[in-house]
Amino acid sequence: MYHLVFPAKYRRAIFDEPVDEVLKATCLGIERRYRVKFLEIGTDKDQVHFLAQSVPTYSVTKVVRLIKRLTAREIFRCGPQVEEAVGWRAMDRRVFCQHGEQAWR
């Protein structure tokens, strides 16, 4: 089980209600295709928090890359307000991950 925090690029406030709905729909699609389950999804204006669970054969890096790649692509398609705010890359390169008592950046 992982607690992942994905900030928006430049910490811009891009997560409004339509973007939030697209994000949650994308996460449901990830659950159907991959062995990752989202227990909680929460958004602030400039970051997304995931509480995700995956199989032990998936590394932390694989889970982060999978979620980031698929959600960032769909968020970018949400409209010109996202494109103007962050350009073509919606998520920042930095990700905070906490697993048990360990934390990675």
Residues 65-99: tens digit of each pLDDT: 899 888 888 887 776 666 565 554 556 666 777 76
> Quick check: 2 and 104 in contact, CB under 8 A?
no
What span, in angstroms and rounded, lies between the C-alpha atoms of 9 and 102? 25
Half-sphere exposure of 23 (CA within 13 A, CB side): 26
**In the prediction, which pLDDT does 95 show?**
72
What span, in angstroms and rounded, lies between the C-alpha atoms of 34 and 98? 21
Residues 5-50: tens digit of each pLDDT: 988 877 778 788 888 899 999 999 999 999 999 999 999 988 889 9
Q: Please give the domain boundaries of the chain with CATH numbers for all domains.
A: 2-104 (3.30.70.1290)
The pTM score is 0.77
Look at residues 6, 19, 7 and name the one whose alpha carbon lies nearest to residue 76: 19
